[in-house]
Structure 1
């Protein structure tokens, strides 16, 4: 059964537009309470990022849960993976994250974690939706839920992050610039890296409710690159607004994306005989990463775009490592979900163990030029037409084994995404434009 409100990563949208309204969050909190409330002392965690609407939605969710007779533990601003960890370690019935991740401040959303620190299964999300569409009732006054603040949430998560790397290592003398995207890691990430011995220079750590992800963080890493060069740092760490994405910068100011970081971690785990199962990427994972892993004897499997699908393939294939080029990196041998801080720590461990710079570590993989074009459509996209398929096959033939073509419809916008990848950048650009023109022509639209 199709879900009405939940997408692949929870519920997300522009604040004030359905369903991202205060009254919807009130009803959502009540619905969640109906699904998870079994015993009087059950409780649910609520955390959020730093966008201004989080205050409103936190209160609305709390009120809905209270009306359902469920206690609430409020974490305040916390990274999404930190909420996953605390849900598991507190043995809460569920964890709720109020965040729109890497989106601008005027968006917001909500996603959930189970008692195991993993995303909720489809059947639970569908059950929540069923209650959203039923009349809301309030339990008797004697059965109302209570709320309390968890004052040491950040400290608990900081210690957990530090515990994912060996205590034998000393990072004294390593200079790191950390960009917190004015988001949920602003009071966590600098402490983690400082407390393992690194010299830390922090940027993007002054949230005001309106500047989350604003020209900073994992989606806009140029400011970090500039800061690394200006401070003669050894590396830079860029997180997104809720802390589940990681992009890094090497000492030369070059940006290191999720594919390159996953490759480095995979090679490290393989050397230490700790890599289990295949590495999981997505349809957008660079072909250069696939070929570099193949040279190591490591298989890459591709999931649909989205960390939820990466996780499904990891579990299905009993793997421990996967992610996306956007910086979602899942290390299941360390935690239960994508975590930017923990992924960065794994890279830093490999730098120490190998004695190599981040620039040297990433050199084992050569990224292929990749061009992605978006074609706006006015009707439901049809990618199976004869002309489009002929154009795809013609380009695939020209690229041979050293290139890829991918056409896919966006799941959230009226767009067709055209991706061409290959060794020759000029040819990749030429083929991508040719295919985009053919797609636009077939749909009667302009690029």
Structure 2
């Protein structure tokens, strides 16, 4: 049974996550889009992470969409989820399909759908896609050998995203503080994103695991303390002031202090909230998932800020973000929503904001 969870459909490759099931889900998504946007030129941004076969799955999705006469903006390399969300918004696409299982073990892959807002699809959307899946499962067997190339356009996601981030972080402040930063890409999509923007801004940086390994070094690509053991040692060995990690698709973060100690994400969320309120003088609503620290509540009360509590799933924070009800939202799984940013998780931006906070 193909089901969308808190962040898309994820399953073990070769079992439920197969090429035929990918074609099925992509066709169901195409059917949903054609019903939602009748008589409209439909465009979809297709992205993928560094997992085994992710690039092949993305190309298969592009083929299916092209046979539906849907214009496909296909990324020219693996890219962070938030870079795809930016392109959905910039190109006014009707959606985005991303092949990633985020921080799941290497044997998993996944398909995540973002709506025309750039935000992760809410259950009301994925429920409709699941209805299409159930209908198609009765007889669907389409297997296009060739794509319709007139509907497929390769695009670069890196340049636009880094230019966007450049305006969101005070790199001058970080550079003047003379802090040295270690970055652990965990074999994921943040390589040549997180390290590159620091280098371009002349901030001393030391990189770790900035290459593709579909086995993720034998671990799950999540920013847990257990998985950041090498970063903890690396920070101390290189005499860095801060260690920043991002997960497999770059949308979650982990932080290590100058003594090589892991700092739990709940504490980082609370510190960042206090930072944007006290140093940036932001005022507005604050949101957290029900599983996130109540320290967020205490900070909101201290500064008399409206507080919202959501079910688990970043998509619910995104909904409040799009409604302009919040300036800050956080989930204990290392996700933040920030005013004037993107309606998608962004581990790169979160890590850089931590660096800015330390520099301040």
Indicate the TM-score class for this superposition, using the shorter chain for normalisation: 0.7 to 0.9
Aligned in 2, Cα 1:85/1:77: closer, same or farther, shift over 3 Å?
same
Shift of 1:233: 0.2
Aligned in 2, Cα 1:51/1:334: closer, same or farther, shift over 3 Å?
same
Range with bigger deviation, 218-227 or 115-124: 115-124
Aligned in 2, Cα 1:143/1:98: closer, same or farther, shift over 3 Å?
closer
Task: After superposition, give the CA deviation of every residue in 1:242-293 in whole Å (9 maximum; x if it has no partner).
Answer: 111111111122222222222222112222321311x222233234454455
1:344 aligned onto 2:351: yes
Shift of 1:315: 5.6
Task: Map 1:29-428 to 2 at 5 A.
Answer: 29-37=26-34, 38=38, 41-75=41-75, 76-132=77-133, 133-134=135-136, 135-136=139-140, 146-150=151-155, 152-166=156-170, 169=173, 171=175, 173-211=178-216, 214=219, 218-219=223-224, 220-271=227-278, 272-277=280-285, 279-298=286-305, 300-312=307-319, 318-352=325-359, 354=360
SS at match of 1:73: strand
Q: Distance in 1 between the 2:187 and 2:290 partners? A: 30
Do the aligned partners of 2:188 and 2:221 also contact (CA within 8 Å) in 1?
A: no
Shift of 1:231: 0.7
Q: Distance in 1 between the 2:148 and 2:235 partners? A: 55
Aligned in 2, Cα 1:297/1:274: closer, same or farther, shift over 3 Å?
same
Shift of 1:31: 2.2
Q: Distance in 1 between the 2:147 and 2:96 partners? A: 25
Q: Distance in 2 between the 1:257 and 1:196 partners? A: 27
Do the aligned partners of 1:179 and 1:217 also contact (CA within 8 Å) in 2?
A: no
Range with bigger deviation, 122-131 or 207-216: 207-216
SS at match of 1:326: coil
Query: How many residue pairs were aligned?
Result: 347
SS at match of 2:82: helix
SS at match of 1:218: coil
Q: Select the structure of larger CA radius of gyration.
A: 1
SS at match of 1:7: coil
Match of 1:363 in 2: none
Question: What CA RMSD, in Å, does the superposition of the two structures yield over aligned residues?
Answer: 2.8
SS at match of 2:55: helix
Do the aligned partners of 1:260 and 1:289 also contact (CA within 8 Å) in 2?
A: no
> Which of 9, 12, 19 does residue 10 from structure 2 map onto?
12
1:27 aligned onto 2:34: no
Shift of 1:174: 2.1
Task: After superposition, give the CA deviation of every residue in 1:78-119 in whole Å (9 maximum; x if it has no partner).
Answer: 101111111111212211110000011110111111222112
Task: After superposition, give the CA deviation of every residue in 1:24-53 in whole Å (9 maximum; x if it has no partner).
Answer: 111222222223244575321111110012
Shift of 1:74: 1.2
Do the aligned partners of 1:68 and 1:144 also contact (CA within 8 Å) in 2?
A: no
Aligned in 2, Cα 1:317/1:232: closer, same or farther, shift over 3 Å?
same
Q: Distance in 2 between the 1:27 and 1:294 partners? A: 48
Bigger RCO (CA 8 Å, 6+ sep): 2
Q: Distance in 1 between the 2:306 and 2:157 partners? A: 38
